[in-house]
Structure 1
Amino acid sequence: MVRELSKSTDIIYPDSDGQPMADNTKQFRWIVVIKENLELLFADNPDVFVAGDLLWYPVEGNNRIRRAPDAMVVFGRPKGDRGSYKQWEEDHIAPQVVFEILSPGNRVSEMIQKQAFYDYHGVEEYYVYDPDEVDLAGMIRGEGRLDPIEDIQGWVSPRLGIRFQLEEETLKIFTPTGDPFLGFIELDRRRQEAEAERDRQRQRAETAEEEHQRERQRAETAEAEHQRERQRAETAEAERQRERQRAETAEAQLKAMEQRLRELGLDES
């Protein structure tokens, strides 16, 4: 038993099978579109791992049992870089959803072998798209095996929530919110537009804050002026009171003098 374990640990699991990711630009573009948009779709979920053209080893101890799906999604595994997907190191969780993009170089026997591999190793949803023929096929697990999806038009993936729409010239894929999967250039353009809008919103917020500060300053200035006016009014009222007091004092003094004059018989009247 110890000898067998030693042999197993000595096995090398290459990170590459020596095959190109794609045979042509159209196939490569579709692989990137699907993989990147799935990454965006689950960007906020730390326990969904999305990969493109990554070797998947389902069986420990056998490095010949392997496939590199064009795109795959694994629920229940954390994001992060990997040289390959060794299932026994991933809590024995197999990819639930797999995509393959056909090219003229794909052989029927190869696709049959891939289907058998994904079926045997527990894939729940398997989608194959031929961009040259604009043809999409899908399979979903039921009764312990992958069964064909009879009507793929408008099909919604149970796991991903995305919807497939075949049109005359291309396949369109929509997110659960109805947004289309976009190519890299369009994604970058929308990113730039979103950043520009964010900057505009921030500028508007800063302008509004500056105007608020100016309004507050004007209000404080008006309040200070109001305080000064009230102070001036109070000062004027105090001065008026003093003047009246002085007038009353002068009046009293005059009356006292007149009284004194009468007492001295000097009152001319």
Structure 2
Amino acid sequence: MTFIPAIDPDIEYPDSDGKPMADNTEQYEWIVKIKENIEILFADSPLVFIAGDLLWYPVQDKKITGPVAPDVMVVFGRPKGRRGSYKQWEEDNIAPQVVFEILSPSNSLEEMERKLLFYQRYGVEEYYLYDPDTNNLKGWLRQEEILSSIPQINRWVSPRLKIQFELTETELEIYSLDGQKFLTFIELSQKAEQASSQLEQERLKAEQASLQLEQECLKAERLAEYIRSLGIDPDTL
């Protein structure tokens, strides 16, 4: 049976639920790290929308439980751009296919169970839940209309994102399929500086080589002039 929401034109859809994006620095850093690295991964894909802590309204229904603001959500088939919230009926009715949640001490079991049910009901294909305090990662994949637990999450590759999750003894590491590790802003900045420094070194080496070649050519020309001054054609030598 198809679910038909009770549409009310007077319903308000606020862009904020009044809750902070994160409860602590570690949770915030993980949200930003995952969101921004996925942004980098799909920078050249105009129809992949990625957001962090954005309210998602799946239907126009005042009876809806929620809405929910996934810590990170990825929507394939929708253009990049600014949004105050994600109103699904204004987005070709495309639900976020992938969502991430980063646990914090304030998240209750009841809250996380409610989110899982929400994601299952409204079409999420992949759901990942990471607890940085315990270094525990859980994942769910939609199978036959149900979000089923992924039994072996370590080294799991996301079908949609094509990224691999690796659990070390201390923390979660995420890699793109070309081996690029998800990095923090500081690590990305350091990597960019190293690349810039390496390019500068290569440029200086090229300049030095060019200068050395120019000096050798000048020496050769001076030698040729000296030989000519002796009445000898250097080309016959």
- Shorter-chain TM range is 0.7 to 0.9
Q: Secondary structure at the match of 2:12?
A: coil
- Which string of whole-angstrom CA distances, capped at 9 and with x for unpartnered residues, describes residues 146-190 of structure 1? 110011111111111111111221111111112221122111111
| TM score, norm. by length of structure 1 | 0.73
1:29 aligns with 2:18: no
The SS at the match of 2:40 is helix
Return the offset for 1:208. Answer: 5.4
Match of 1:93 in 2: 94
- TM-score w.r.t. length of structure 2: 0.82
* Identical-residue share of aligned pairs (%): 56
Between 56-65 and 179-188, the greater mean CA deviation after superposition: 56-65
Instruction: Name stretches of at least 5 consecutive residues in structure 2 with no aligned partner.
Output: 1-5, 233-237
Distance between the aligned counterparts of 1:192 and 1:160, measured in 2? 27
Paired residues in the alignment total 226
Segments of 5+ residues of structure 1 without an aligned counterpart are: 234-269
**Would you say the 8 A contact 1:152–1:164 is kept in 2?**
yes
CA distance in 2, matches of 1:193, 1:147: 43
Tell me how far apart the structure 2 counterparts of residues 207 and 171 of structure 1 sit (CA, whole Å): 45
2:35 & 2:144 partners in 1: Cα distance?
A: 28
- Partner residue in 2 for 1:42: 42
User: 1:116 offset after TM fit, Å?
Assistant: 0.6
Per-residue deviation, 1:143: 0.7
1:139 aligns with 2:166: no
Residue 240 of structure 1 corresponds to none
Q: Letter of the aligned partner of 2:119 in structure 1?
A: Y
Structure whose residues are more often helix by fraction = 1
Give the aligned CA root-mean-square deviation in angstroms.
Answer: 2.9
Structure 2 CA distance for partners of 1:209 and 1:103, relative to 1, 3 Å: same
- Greater relative contact order (Cα < 8 A, sep 6+): 2
Could you say what secondary structure the match of 2:123 adopts? coil
**1:69-148 pair list within 5 angstroms:** 69-148=70-149
- Give 1:209 deviation, angstroms: 5.8
Partner residue, 1:238:
none
CA contact (8 A) 1:165 1:172 kept: yes
